[in-house]
C-alpha cells in the first residue's frame, strides 16, 4: 500500500493479518480434517475385515446423537474469547479449556494486555502457538516414541486388564469433573434420573433403543433441563469438554 | 456378532491394524499442518504487530509464556494418551486424543460406536473390525467440530448478531444438559456391567472428587489438569487388584 497516512497503513496491515490468518487457518484446518478422516477410511477400504457401510452409519448415528449439539455450541462459545484466527488453531490442537485458554490468559497477564483488544488477541495467538509447539513435541516424543516402546515392554496380562477397564476408569472421573466444574445441580439430577430410567427401564422394555440410548438420554435431558430451568437467575456460561 | 465380518475382522489383535505405517504417515501429516499453521501465524503477527500496538519483544514473551504454561497440561494429556495406546494404537491416539479431541469425547465416541457393534471397548469382543468402526466414528465426530468451526468462524466474524444473540439461558442450559446427559448415560451404563467395571467407575470417580477438593481447598491447582490421569491410574490399579484376586467376571 503506497500511502503515507499512518491510520490507513495500520488498518491495512491488520486487514492483511486477518486475510493471511483466515486463509491459512482454513487451509491448514481443512488439510488436518482430510488427513484425520483419511486414516480410518484407509483402514476400511484396504483391510478385509467385512465392515459394511451400515455398521459405520449405525455407529456414526449413535455418536452424532450424543454430540451434535456440542459441534455447534463449542465454536460459538469459544469465539468471543479466541477471535477468528485462533479458532482455526484451537479446534485443531484440541484440549482448549484445559490447556489453550490458560496459556492465552497467562500470556496476556505477562505483557499486561486486555482480552478483547488487538494486543490481547495477538498475545493469545502467540501463546497458543507456543502451547502448540510444546504440545506437538511432547506428544511426538512422550507418546509417539516413549509410549509406544513402554506398551511393548509391559506384560500382556497387565495390558489386557488395562484395556478392559480403561473406559470405566475414564468415565467415572470425567463425569465427576463435569458435574463439579459446571455447577448445575438441577441439570445433573435430571441427567442422572433420565439416564437410569432410560438404561434400566426403557431399554430392557424396548431393546431396539439400546443403540441410540445415549442420544435418547441427551435429548430428554436437554428438553427437561430447559423446561424445568430455574427462571430466577441466569446461569453462568458453560465450561466445555474439548 | 454381525455375520458379515471375515475371520480377520474378528481377530482381537488391534495393534496389527492400528499401528500400520500409513496411519503413522497420516498422523505426522496432521502434526505438520499444525506446525505450518503456527509458523504462518507467527510471521503474520510479527508483521502486523505495530498495527496491533504490540512490540516484537511482547510477542516473544507471549509465545514463551504460553509455551511454559502448556508444559504441565501437555504432560497430563501425555499420561492419559499413553494409557489409551493399547486400545487405539499410537497413530489414532496421537491424532484423536492428543490433538483434535480430548480423552473424554473420543473414548466416549469409541465406546458408543463399539456398543452399536455389540462389543465393549477392550473386551474379548473388541475385534479389529470393532476398532476400525470405532476409529471411523470418532474421526467423523471430530470432523463435526472442525466443520462447524470452518463454517461458523467466517459467519461469526462478519458479526452475525443473530448467532451471538442466541438466548443466553439456552446457551447455558442446553450444552450443559447435552454434556452431562451424554457422560451420565455412559457412566451409568458401565454400572450395568461386571462388579470390576462398577469398582473402576466408583474408584476413578472418588479419586477425581478428591483431586477436585484438594485443588480448590489447597494450593495444588495443578491437580485440576492431572486429576484425569491420576484417576485413570488409580481406577486401573483397583481394577487390576480386583481382577487378579478372583473378582474376575468371566462367566
Cβ(B66)–Cβ(A32) below 8 Å: no
B130-157 tens-digit pLDDT: 999 999 999 999 999 999 999 999 988 8
Other Cβ atoms within 10 Å of B129 Cβ, number: 28
Indicate the Cα dihedral angle A65, A69, A70, A75, nearest 10°: 140
Which has the closest alpha carbon to A128: B44, B41, B79, B31? Answer: B41
Q: Does residue B159 share a domain with residue B220?
A: no
Task: Give the whole-angstrom CA distance, residue A158 versus residue A136.
Answer: 29
Which pLDDT score, from 0 to 100, does residue A1 have? 42
Reported as a single tens digit per residue, the pLDDT across A27-63 is 999 999 999 999 999 999 988 888 888 999 999 999 9
Q: Which residue has the higher pLDDT, B7 or A11?
A: B7
Q: Are both B24 and B114 inside the same structural domain?
A: yes
Residue A135 dihedral angles phi and psi, to the nearest 5°:
-65, -45
* Confidence at residue B2, expressed as pLDDT on a 0 to 100 scale: 45
Indicate yes or no: CB of B192 within 8 angstroms of CB of A200: yes
Test mutation, B22, B37, B165, chain A, max A CBs within 10 A: B37
Contact B38 A151 (CB under 8 A): no
Could you tell me if B140 and B228 lie in one domain? no
Asked if A142 and B82 count as a contact pair (C-beta separation under 8 A), the reply is yes
Domain that holds residue B121: 1-165
pLDDT of residue B216: 86
pLDDT, position A158: 84
Q: What is the pLDDT of residues B185-209, one digit of tens each?
A: 999 999 988 899 999 999 999 999 9
How does the average pLDDT of chain A come out, rounded?
Answer: 86
CB B129 within 8 A of CB A49: yes
| pLDDT score recorded for residue B247 | 65
Confidence band for B3, pLDDT divided at 50, 70 and 90: low
What's the CA gap between B106 and B201, in Å, rounded?
Answer: 18
Flag whether pLDDT at A181 surpasses 70: yes
- Spatial separation of the C-alpha atoms in residues A207 and A213, rounded to whole Å: 10
Q: Is A34 on the interface with B (CB under 8 A)?
A: no
The count of structural domains within chain B is 2
Q: What is chain B's alpha carbon radius of gyration, rounded to the nearest angstrom?
A: 22
User: Which candidate from B71, B103, B123 shows the least CB-CB separation from A134?
Assistant: B71
CA dist., res. A128 & res. B200, Å (int): 35
Domain boundary among B118, B133, B165: B165
**Mind listing the pLDDT tens digit for each residue in A217-226?**
999 999 999 8
Cβ separation B171–A77 shorter than 8 A: yes
Question: Looking at CA atoms only, how far is residue A93 from chain B in angstroms?
Answer: 5
Partner-chain contact B212 A47, CB within 8 Å: no
User: With helix as H, strand as E and coil as C, how does chain B read?
Assistant: CCCCCCCHHHCCCHHHHHCCHHHHHHHHHHHHHHHHHHHHHHHHHHHHHHHHCCCHHHHHHHHHHHHHHHHHHHHHHHHHHHHHHHHHCHHHHHHHHHHHCCHHHHHHHHHHHHHHCCCCCCCCCCCHHHHHHHHHHHHHHHHHHHHHHHHHHHHHHCCCHHHHCCCHHHHHHHHHHHHHHHHHHHHHHHCCCCHHHHHHHHHHHHHHHHHHHHHHHCCCCCHHHHHHHHHHHHHHHHHHHHHHCCCCCCC
Stretch 192-251 of chain B: residues touching chain A, C-beta under 8 Å: 192-193, 196-198, 200-209, 212, 224-225, 227-228, 231-232, 235-236, 239-240, 243-244
Of B142, B165, B188, the one marking the end of a domain is B165
Q: What is the pLDDT of residue A240?
A: 62
Mark whether B12 and B106 lie in a shared domain. Answer: yes
pLDDT of residue B235: 94
Q: How far apart are CA B204 and CA B240, in angstroms?
A: 13
Residue B251 predicted with pLDDT over 60:
no
Cβ of B6 and A79 within 8 Å?
Answer: no
Lowest-confidence pick of A16-20, A26-30, B1-5, B164-168:
B1-5
* Cβ within 8 Å of residue A151, ≥6 positions away: A159, B82, B85, B86
Asked if residue A223 lies in contact with residue B127, where contact means CB atoms within 8 angstroms, the answer is no
Q: Per-residue pLDDT tens for A137-178?
A: 999 999 999 998 988 888 888 888 888 899 999 999 999 988
| B147 and B173, same domain (yes or no) | no
Are B61 and A110 spatial neighbours (Cβ–Cβ below 8 Å)?
A: yes
Chain A residues 155-174 within an 8 A CB cutoff of chain B: 158-159, 161-174
Question: Which residues in A lie closer than 8 A to residue B119 (C-beta atoms)?
Answer: none
What integer pLDDT is reported at residue A4 of this predicted model? 44
How much is the ipTM here? Answer: 0.84
Interface size, chain A vs chain B, as Cβ–Cβ contacts under 8 Å: 647
Q: Average per-residue pLDDT in chain B? A: 87
Out of B117, B139, B145, the one facing A55 most closely (by C-beta) is B117
Give pLDDT, residue A160: 83
Dist CA B48 CA B54 (whole Å):
9
Assess whether pLDDT exceeds 60 at residue A192. Answer: yes
Identify the pLDDT of residue A2. 43
Residues B137 and B42 in one domain: yes
CB B102 within 8 A of CB A49: no
* Residues B28 and B100 grouped into a single domain: yes
Nearest CB partner across the interface for B87, out of A11, A166, A179: A166
* Boundary residue ending a domain (B165, B185, B206): B165
Q: What is the pLDDT of residue A238?
A: 54
pLDDT of residue A169: 93
* B118 phi/psi in degrees, rounded to 5: 75, 20
Maximum pairwise Cα distance, chain B: 70
Whether residues B44 and B133 fall in one domain: yes
- Same domain for B156 and B174, yes or no, is no
For residue A5, what pLDDT is reported? 47
Domain boundaries, chain A: 78-153
Question: Per-residue pLDDT tens for A87-112?
Answer: 999 988 887 877 888 889 899 999 98
Q: Note whether A36 and B34 are within 8 A (CB).
A: no
Cβ contact B235–A169 (<8 Å): yes
Q: Can you tell me the distance from the alpha carbon of A182 to that of A173, in angstroms, rounded to the nearest whole number? A: 14
Task: Give B 162-201 residues with CB within 8 A of chain A.
Answer: 163-164, 166, 168-190, 192-193, 196-198, 200-201
Residue B217 and residue B161 share a domain: no
Does A209 lie at the interface with B, CB-CB under 8 angstroms? no
Mean local confidence (pLDDT), B225-243: 90
Residues B74 and B182 in one domain: no
Mutate to test the interface with A, among B70, B88, B208 (most CBs of A within 10 A): B70
- Angle among Cα B228, B229, B233 to the nearest 5 degrees reads 115
Same domain for B201 and B146, yes or no, is no
Amino acid at each position: 500500500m503506497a500511502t503515507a497516512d499512518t491510520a490507513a497503513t495500520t488498518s491495512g496491515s491488520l486487514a492483511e493479518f486477518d486475510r493471511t490468518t483466515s486463509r491459512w487457518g482454513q487451509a491448514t484446518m481443512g488439510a488436518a480434517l482430510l488427513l484425520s478422516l483419511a486414516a480410518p477410511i484407509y483402514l476400511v477400504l484396504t483391510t478385509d475385515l467385512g465392515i459394511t457401510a451400515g455398521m459405520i452409519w449405525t455407529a456414526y448415528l449413535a455418536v452424532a446423537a450424543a454430540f451434535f449439539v456440542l459441534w455447534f455450541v463449542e465454536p460459538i462459545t469459544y469465539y468471543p474469547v479466541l477471535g477468528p484466527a485462533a479458532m482455526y488453531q484451537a479446534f485443531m490442537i484440541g484440549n482448549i479449556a484445559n490447556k489453550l485458554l490458560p496459556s492465552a490468559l497467562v500470556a496476556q497477564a505477562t505483557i499486561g494486555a486486555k482480552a478483547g483488544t488487538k494486543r490481547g488477541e495477538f498475545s493469545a495467538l502467540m501463546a497458543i502457538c507456543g502451547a502448540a509447539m510444546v504440545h506437538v513435541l511432547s506428544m511426538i516424543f512422550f507418546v509417539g516414541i516413549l509410549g509406544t516402546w513402554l506398551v511393548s515392554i509391559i506384560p500382556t496380562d497387565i495390558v489386557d486388564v488395562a484395556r478392559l477397564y480403561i473406559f470405566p476408569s475414564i468415565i467415572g472421573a470425567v463425569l465427576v469433573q463435569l458435574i463439579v466444574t459446571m455447577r448445575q445441580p438441577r441439570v445433573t439430577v435430571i441427567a442422572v434420573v433420565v439416564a437410569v430410567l432410560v438404561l434400566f427401564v426403557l431399554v430392557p422394555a424396548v431393546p431396539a433403543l439400546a443403540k441410540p440410548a445415549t442420544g435418547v438420554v441427551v435429548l430428554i435431558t436437554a428438553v427437561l433441563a430447559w423446561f424445568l430451568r430455574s427462571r430466577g437467575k441466569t446461569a453462568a456460561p458453560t465450561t466445555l469438554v474439548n | 456378532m454381525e455375520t458379515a465380518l471375515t475371520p480377520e475382522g474378528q481377530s482381537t489383535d488391534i495393534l496389527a491394524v492400528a499401528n500400520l505405517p500409513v496411519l503413522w504417515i497420516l498422523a505426522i501429516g496432521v502434526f505438520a499442518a499444525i506446525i505450518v499453521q503456527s509458523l504462518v501465524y507467527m510471521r503474520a503477527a510479527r508483521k502486523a504487530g505495530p498495527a496491533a500496538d504490540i512490540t516484537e519483544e511482547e510477542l516473544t514473551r507471549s509465545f514463551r509464556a504460553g509455551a511454559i504454561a502448556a508444559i504441565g497440561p501437555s504432560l497430563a494429556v501425555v499420561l492419559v494418551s499413553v494409557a489409551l495406546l493399547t486400545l487405539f494404537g499410537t497413530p489414532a491416539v496421537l491424532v484423536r486424543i492428543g490433538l483434535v479431541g480430548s480423552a473424554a469425547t473420543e473414548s466416549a465416541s469409541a465406546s458408543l460406536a463399539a456398543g452399536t457393534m455389540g462389543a465393549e471397548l477392550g473386551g474379548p469382543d473388541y475385534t479389529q473390525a470393532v476398532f476400525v468402526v470405532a476409529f471411523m466414528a470418532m474421526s467423523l465426530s471430530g470432523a463435526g467440530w472442525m466443520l462447524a468451526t470452518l463454517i461458523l468462524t467466517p459467519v461469526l466474524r462478519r458479526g452475525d448478531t443473530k448467532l451471538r444473540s442466541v438466548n443466553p439461558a439456552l446457551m447455558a442450559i442446553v450444552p450443559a444438559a447435552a454434556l452431562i446427559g451424554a457422560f451420565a448415560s455412559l457412566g451409568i451404563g458401565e454400572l450395568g456391567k461386571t462388579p470390576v467395571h462398577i469398582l473402576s467407575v466408583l474408584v476413578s470417580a472418588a479419586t477425581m472428587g478428591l483431586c477436585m477438593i484438594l485443588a480448590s481447598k489447597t494450593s495444588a491447582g495443578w491437580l485440576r489438569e492431572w486429576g484425569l490421569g491420576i484417576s485413570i491410574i488409580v481406577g486401573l490399579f483397583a481394577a487390576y487388584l480386583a481382577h487378579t484376586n478372583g473378582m474376575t467376571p468371566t462367566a
